Each structure stands twice: as C-alpha cells, then as structure tokens.
Amino acid sequence: MISVALCGNPNCGKTTLFNNLTGSKAHVGNWPGVTVEKKEGIYKRKKDFPEEISIVDLPGIYSLSPYTPEEIVSRNYIIDSRPDVVINIVDSTNLSRNLYLTSQVLEMDVPVVVALNFMDVIEKRGDSIDIKALSEKLGVPVVPISALKSNGMKELMKAVYSVAKTKREGTLLYKDGKIDQAILSLSSKLREEEIASPLFIANKLIENDEAVLAQYSDYEEMRDKILDDNNIQDRSQLENTITDGIYNYIDENLYPVYHKSINAPKRSFSDRVDKILTNRFLGLPIFALVMFLIFCLVFNTDFLFMGAMGLQPIRPFFEDAEPGMPSLGIVLQDLLDWLLNGLLLDSISTGLASINSPAWLTSLLCDGILASVFAVVTFLPLIVLLELFIQILENSGYMARVAFTFDRLLRRFGISGKCVVPLISCFGCAVPGIMGTRTIDSKRERVLTISLTPFFACGAKLPIFLGIGTSIIQEISGGVLQGGVVAFIMYFVGIIGAIIAGFFSNEFIIQGKSSPFIMEFPPYMVPQAKSVGLAMWQETKRFLTRAGTIIALMSALLWFLQTFTWSWEMVPMIEVNGEEVADISSSILASIGSFIQPVFYPLGFAHAADGWKYVVSAITGLVAKEQVVGTMESLNILNATSITIPAAFSFLIFNLYTFPCVAAMSAAKAELGEKRNFRYVMIFWLVSSYVVSAFAYGVGSLSLIGTSAFGTLELVMSIIAAVILVSLITLLILNYLSIKKKNHPLRLIKFNIEDKDAEFIENIYAASRKVTKKKVRHSCCN
Amino acid sequence: MLLSQAVEHEELLIDSVNTDYRHKRHLENLSILSGETITCLYNRSGDVVVKVKDGRIAINREFARLIEVTSLNPQYYTESVKNGIVKRKLTKAAKEMFKEEDKKYRQEEKMRKKELKRKGEKR
C-alpha cells in the first residue's frame, strides 16, 4: 500500500482535491493528542494501479516550523510516519507565497509531487505557467490540476505512482554562498548520525529556531563549530536573512515562470467588492440584509410579506389558502406533510385495522412512533435549505469579510471577529460551529464563544419555533402573529440575547481583552455545486438517521411511559367531547412530569393541569432538539388549548437558551478541554435560560392584565421581572462608576481562565499603546 | 510610519516587524517581513487590509501599530492637521489617476473577454 500525504496552504483546495481523489468516502478523526482533524481515505480508482493508494489530508499550514498544532502535526507526520509521497498543493494564483511552503517541503527526505491548483482561474485570466521550467528548477514533477473541475487528476496520480518507489534526499532552494554551505555541511553531518530529514533540521538549527533547538540541543555545539568554520558572524539575524533569501530566490527564479497576459491591476474585482462589504457604514446593514433574505427564502410563511401588502397568490396543496405566498421551504414542508401525515399515516392505520392488529400496537405505531417521527421529518426541507444557504455563504469567502467587519464591534464584548464565523455556522447545526472554534487561539474567547452557541438557534430548533408558532401562537392570536414571524422573532431574540449575555459575561464574569488577529481573505469564489450539494446530502443523512433512530426510540419510550400506569395497566379511556381518548393523567409519565413540574412554575408554562407535558417536552429536547416537537405531538399539546401567548414565548425562549442537544454538548466538552470550563458553560446555559424565560414571562404577563389568565403567579412574575430589570440597571451603573473610580470593572463572580495567551495579549496592547504615545496622535490611533 | 497609518492604494516598504516571536513568524509565513513591498487596500481606523503578493491579509489595529513601514509613493498623499490630530488623505489628482486606471483595466478586461469568445466560436 502506498501512503500519500496532501500538504498545502489553507484555502488552496486541499479538501476539494481530497474529496475528488477519495470520492468523499473519508474517515474523519483527530490526530492523537491534538484537536486537529485528520482525514484519511483511499484513492477511488483502485483499478488504475496495482497497489492501493491511501491518502491523508494534512491540515492547512503556511510553513513547517513547529508552533501551531497544525504545523506540528504535519511536520511530525512527514518526518516520523514517512509517507511514500507528499503532494504539495500550490495555489497558482498566489504562487510566491505558496512556494515558501514548497521550499520547506523540498528540504525533507521524501518524494514530492507539486500540484498547481486553480489552473482554471489562471486560464480564465489569460495567464500561463511554464510547467517544464518550474519542474526543472524545483527538481520534482509538477502537475497542473484544477480540483474544482476535476482536471488533471489522472496525471497527478500517475506522477505520484511513478515517484512512489524512488528515494529522494532533501534539496535546498537557498543559494547565498556562505550560509547555504554551512547548512549543507551541517546536514551531511546530521545524516551520518541518521537523523530523519537532516537538511530540514540543519536549516532550522542554523536559523536558531527555538522549538527545534529544544529537541535537538545535543547538536548545538556541532552547529556553532560549523558556523565558525564558515566565518558567519551575525548569528542573531540569520533567520531573517535566510527567510529573506528564500523569498528573493522565489521572486527571481521561480515567479517568472508565471506569465501574465496583462499588467496586474491595482485593485481586482474582489478588492472593489471588499471595499463596499467592509465599509464602516454599509458593512453591517448589508450583512443584516443577507441574513434576512436567507430567512425569508427558507421559512417565511408570507414570502417577503406580500400577503401583508395585500397580494394574494394561492398556496398550493391546501384547502384554506392563506394570504401571501409561502417561501420554498414552507411549500416543500407542506408537501411532505401531506405525503407523510396525510397519505402514509392514514394508509398504515387503515392497513393495521384491516388485519385486526391489537389496539396497543396500532396506538404504539401510529400515535406513538410514526406521529412524532413524521412531525419532525416534515421539517427536513427547511433544515436542508438553511444548510444550503449557510454553505454558500461560507464557501464564497464572504465569512472572512464579515469577521473583519464585526471585529471592531465585538471588542466591547471581549471577543474578536474570528469568533463570528463559528457562530454563524451554528445556524445550520451547532456541532460544526463548536468544532470551528478551534481556530480561536485564546482559551478565554473560546469559552465565551461556546457559551454563546445555543443563542444562535440551530436548525433543529426551527421545528420548535415553527411548530409552536403556527399551531399555538398563530391560533391564539387569530392569525396576527404568523408562524414565520414568530420564528423570525425568536432568531432575533437569540441574537440580542447573545449580545447581552456576551456583554454580561465579559464585564462581570470572565474578564480580559480580546486577542488581536491576523487573517487571510480568500478571493471570492462561486461556491461549487458539488461541495454544497455534498454538505446538504450529509445534513439530510444525519437528520434522517437521527429521526429514524433516536427520535423513534424516544417516541416509543415516551409512548410506553404515557400509556401505562405504575401498576402496568393501560390507562383508562375517558370521554372527552364525545370521543374516547386515553386519560394520560394517570400514566407513569404524568407522575414523573408532575413531580418535576413545580421547578418550572416561574417560567409560566408549567402551572396548568397539564403543564407537566411542556416540562417533559423541554427535557426530551436534551436528546435532540427535534424531539421537542415530536413529544408535543404525541402528548397532544401542539394546539392552542392549554397555554397563553406569554407562556408559549417563555417556553420557546427556554428551549432556545438552554442546553443544546447531547451531540453539541459532547462537542463542547471535547473543545473546552478542562472540566472546569465545561462546568462553567453548563451552569451558564442553565442559569441564563431560566432567568431569561422567567423575565420574559414576567414582562409578557403584563399583557394579560385584565383577562382571566392573570392570576397570582403572573403578578409575582411581573414583579420579579421588574426587580431583575432594576438590578441589571443598577449593576451597569455600579460597573460604570467602578471603572471611573478604580479604573477596573466590577467583579461579580470570580472565574479565571488560565490562559498563557492573556499575558502576551496584554503585552501586545501595552506595546502598541507605547508606540502611539511616542508619535504624533494620528486619527487611527485612538 | 506605522502600518496603521497607511492610506488606501499606498505602496509600502516594510522596515521592521516588532511583534513577539510567534506572530513575527506567522507574519513571515504570510511573506510580511522587512524588505518586502505591500499595498494597503483598506484602512479602517487602524485595522488594515493589505495586499501581499497576490494575497489579501487583514491585520488588526494592535498588530498594525507594531509594524513600521515607509511609503513608496508619498507624492499621492497629503497630511492635514485637525484639532491636533493628523489625517492622511489621497490628493485629488491621485484619486482621479486611480479612477482612470480602474477604467482602463475594466476596458482591457472587456476586450480580452471578447477575444476569448471569438476564439471559442471559431473552434
């Protein structure tokens, strides 16, 4: 078996190439000891070559010096695991910078094939690259490919196979006369000592690289002796000289292979667009508009509010045509609803009746499992559509500009712009969002970001919003508050809540300065249909597997708990409105639910006689957020009978802010590392959901004044809400005064996150403040 | 001059990068080291977006203040003092020059695209 490693800069198309070569049947795991993703796969065209070729996708790196976990993982893999071939993927549109990594890879003792990606973009521009010349100068095969269009894959693998069995010694691209001689002689001595990739190690030793010195400290004397022999005096600046030298070599000898058709423009299309998108005044509103459009397209029951304006297109598949045209997502959902709940469920129940199956079996299958599973599955089109738009946003490269635009604003909340990107992916599913917080260096910011993830409602919470919105709130309000509008309000509440909670955490609990960032803006790309389609398909698979397994099992369990009493008998049937309905109030579930019910009294949705049903629904949300709607359906509370609007909103808020599903919680635990931080985040989620729900119910019950629903509980909650508001305001005032007098903010709860970055961040701020004090005050330095 | 004082379209030569070792290496890997020329694309009260060898990199205010640069085309920029704060701006002539360059580039792009279409049709 031939092992191949894919190595290259971030955003150079490694993942696309990997998916092309392995047919996206990759095994994704983690490198041992580090939370960096490891992707392994096998070349899909097994018949082309006599041996199997396994491909490992190394993480995107800019150089092989071992500082970030990604660099360490890649370097160790190449040196220790010794793959047979390393494919270095180079972004041809940014040749100089990518060749810097190539120069380092070439120093290693491993056969290398250079793959020039993005050749389609080069052709479009009318430029060309002299492949032969480049190959001669680098000394390794160079293959032009376009991972997006799947061009050049066969040639690439042919080159890989031809090189796989050969041996290659590292070559140095730096020619200066003195220093390279020193490096070469040190390398030959290290080779005698049988050190792997001696040229690379020799280069780093002479550069005085701290990490390599720590590992190979025995050879320090040898290095000093060789430097003396070659009369090299200025040793402190060697690293700079060598790096400069490599870049100069690349610019003079390698870059000229790139022939441009016209003179390089000062500002390309991407730059002009960037100017508008990151504009001080336009950047945020544009982003808000984009998000609004996405939500409109996905789940607005009144697309672009046309119904409210008086236009009356007809809604297909229904008898009661409501005003306004629904968006694509709603149309698909209604179609699926008709198919599953209408056709399929009816046919199954009549089929079961015709073969005289026992009543409990029909009840279990139709009312228990299928009803709730179908209730959840109808939301599949919405979730997939949402994922589609989020993938488009991410793949086009817009997210980096968003991070930059938001950075200034987020300084107030103690997080940097980099934290926005994972939070936006949370709108699709929280798990990749939480895993995306790996890019954040500062531990403190990572904890803050993860604690804010449930506020950005994940795709699974959409069924809760829409289900309760259309079935309950829309009914009670007589069509005033449409389901789509409710969902929109909830997303908005989530974001506002995130802002307030983030501010609160930063000022009073976890204090510290946000870390400065350096980020690359990838050029704008039209997202490839293949990769977006793949993401949507994976989301569909994940959703349907969940529906088929966890939700079905939970529904069966719940059916059992609600149909049987403690004495293992089925619950008695009673007459309700002339129909025979099972009296759930004597079941096991009812007793468990009623036991827990008092805890949730302040939140408003638990004090009615069947309030325990809402409690149980909320708790089942821990397993999977989609389950909440399923449980509500099987407990028969998805209608406007037993709850008021404020209580419904309070229930929605509780489900929004509380613990995410088990999958997200385990991802958070993995990312946070320390148990202490995880405990903090869990307590934060619990407290914030409880307090905000209670507050919302208190405020909402003011709207019930004068109706019969306004009882003692509502009065108490309104008073408590007022108390909470007043105490928040006093806290803010005290904080402001404390900053003025003692020059540091008030500390409510002492929670320190040990962060070795904190000190260094303080130093950077101090250094930059010193600099501005020296020079004249410029308009930017405030 | 500090990088955070750069103005749009300005070409800069980097003198020194005074951050700590870790970020100095990070910037080097992105080819921002002393002796290189970069172009400032956008400056938002200290946060800069910089064009380095066909790549675009966003650098925060705090880091930008620690990078010293010299301007390679100071003739395009004027300094004006307002309330004790110095502001650097493009001169009007320079603005017009850049606009014309943009126009020229767009025209050339159109011509080239037409030619490519013609070639495609011939085949």
Task: Quick: pLDDT tens for A256-295.
Answer: 777 776 555 556 777 777 777 877 788 888 888 888 888 7
Q: In A440-551, which ranges are continuous DSSP H helix?
A: 443-452, 461-468, 474-476, 483-504, 529-546
Tens of pLDDT, residues A119-143: 888 887 778 888 888 888 888 999 9
Is any Cβ of chain A less than 8 angstroms from the Cβ of B2? yes
Tell me, yes or no, if B88 comes closer than 8 A to chain A by beta carbon.
Answer: yes
Determine whether the interchain pair B55/A775 forms a contact, defined as Cβ–Cβ distance below 8 Å.
no
Note whether A248 and A371 are within 8 A (CB). no
Which residues on B lie below 8 Å from A63 (Cβ)? 25, 28-29
B19 touches chain A (CB under 8 A): yes
Nearest-Cα residue of chain B relative to residue A782: B45
Token pair of A15, please? Answer: 């993942």
| A24, A33, A41, A428, A566 from A28: Cα distances, Å | 10, 15, 9, 20, 46
User: Which of helix, strand or coil describes residue A236?
Assistant: coil
Residues 23-42, chain B: which have Cβ within 8 Å of A? 23, 25-31, 33-36, 39, 41-42
Q: What is the mean pLDDT of residues A140-153?
A: 87
- The pLDDT, as a whole number, for residue A607 is 76
DSSP β-ladder status, B55-59 and B47-52: antiparallel
Place of tokens 């989530």: A494
Q: What is the DSSP string of A708-724?
A: TT--HHHHHHHHHHHHH
- Alpha carbon distances (Å) from A216 to A179, A205, A211: 20, 8, 9
pTM of the model: 0.79
Q: How far is B60 from chain A (nearest CA, A)?
A: 6
Give the Cα separation of A291 and A655 in Å (integer): 22
B104 at the A interface (CB within 8 A)? no
pLDDT at residue A86, as a whole number: 92
Q: Is the pLDDT of residue A319 over 50?
A: no
Segment B47-61, tens digit of pLDDT: 889 988 878 899 988
Q: Which residue has the higher pLDDT, A44 or A36?
A: A44
- In chain A, residues with a C-beta closer than 8 Å to the C-beta of B19 are 764, 767
Return d(Cα A41, Cα A629) in angstroms, integer: 38
- Test the A interface: residue of B43, B47, B60 with most A CBs within 10 Å: B60
* Least Cα separation, residue A201 to chain B (angstroms): 17
Q: What is the pLDDT, as a whole number, of residue A265? A: 57
Three-class DSSP category at A573:
strand
Contact B8, B90 (CB under 8 A): yes
**C-alpha A269 chain-centroid distance:** 28
**Is a pLDDT exceeding 50 seen at residue A113?**
yes
Rounded average pLDDT over A337-364 = 78
Mean pLDDT of A341-364: 77
Q: Hey, which of A97-106, A563-572, A661-670 has the most confident mean pLDDT?
A: A97-106
Chain B residues with beta carbon closer than 8 angstroms to that of A772: 65
Give the model's confidence band at A774: pLDDT under 50 very low, under 70 low, under 90 confident, else very high: low
Note whether B110 contacts A: Cβ–Cβ < 8 A.
no
Nearest CA in chain A to B24: A240
Residue A782 has a pLDDT of: 42
Look at residue A321 and tell me whether its pLDDT is greater than 50.
no
In the predicted model, what is the mean pLDDT of residues A330-343? 79
Chain A residues near residue B56 by CB distance under 8 angstroms: 270-271, 274, 520-521, 523
Q: What radius of gyration, in Å, describes the C-alpha atoms of chain A?
A: 31
Least confident range from A99-113, A306-320, A729-743: namely A306-320
Q: What is the DSSP secondary structure assignment for residue A643, as one 8-state letter? A: -
**Shortest distance, CA A515 to any CA of chain B (angstroms):** 9
Return d(Cα A205, Cα A214) in angstroms, integer: 10
Q: Which of B49, B52, B98 sits opposite A266 (nearest CB)?
A: B98
The three-class DSSP label of residue A294 is: helix
Q: How many CB atoms lie within 10 A of CB A736?
A: 12
Nearest to A652 by CA among A681, A624, A628: A628
Task: Name the average pLDDT for chain A.
Answer: 80
Residues A365-382 have a mean pLDDT of 78
According to the model, what pLDDT value does residue A128 have? 82
Predicted confidence at residue A26, as pLDDT, reads 60
Section A206-228 average pLDDT: 80
A485-489, A558-562, B63-67: which is most confident = B63-67
Average pLDDT over residues A382-395: 83
Alpha helices in A107-209 (DSSP H): 119-125, 131-138, 153-164, 179-192, 198-206
- Measured between CA atoms, how close is A415 to chain B, in angstroms? 13
Q: What digits encode the pLDDT tens for the residues A16-33?
A: 788 888 876 566 566 655
Question: What is the least distance, in Å, from the CA of A203 to any CA of chain B?
Answer: 15
User: pLDDT at position A320, please?
Assistant: 46
pLDDT-based confidence at residue B84 (cuts at 50, 70, 90) = low
State residue A771's pLDDT score.
Answer: 66
pLDDT at A463: 84
The CA radius of gyration of chain B, in Å to the nearest whole number, is 18
Partner residue opposite A244 with nearest CB, options B33, B49, B85: B33
Under 8 Å between Cβ of A324 and A305: yes
Q: Say if the Cβ atoms of B45 and A779 lie within 8 Å.
A: yes
Percentage of chain A lying above the pLDDT 70 cut: 88
Q: Percent of chain A at pLDDT above 90?
A: 5
For chain B, how are helix, strand and coil distributed in percent, rounded to 5?
40, 35, 25
How many whole angstroms from its chain centre is CA A95?
30
Express each pLDDT in A446-456 by its tens digit: 888 999 999 99
Q: How confident is the model at residue A224 (pLDDT cuts 50, 70, 90)?
A: confident
State residue A661's pLDDT score. Answer: 83
Contact in structure between A62 and A9 (CB atoms under 8 Å)? yes
Mean pLDDT score, A156-174: 85
Using a 10 angstrom Cβ sphere, with 0-12 exposed, 13-18 middle and 19 or more buried, the burial of residue A78 is: buried
Question: A48-62, A520-534, A629-643: which has the highest mean pLDDT?
Answer: A48-62
Average the pLDDT over B69-78 and give the result: 81
pLDDT band, very low/low/confident/very high, at A711 (cuts 50, 70, 90): confident
Strands A573-576 and A579-582: antiparallel
Does the beta-carbon distance from A516 to B55 stay under 8 Å? no
CA dist., res. A420 & res. A453, Å (int): 10
d(CA A386, CA A350): 36
Please indicate whether, in this complex, the C-beta atoms of B33 and A243 are within 8 angstroms of each other. yes
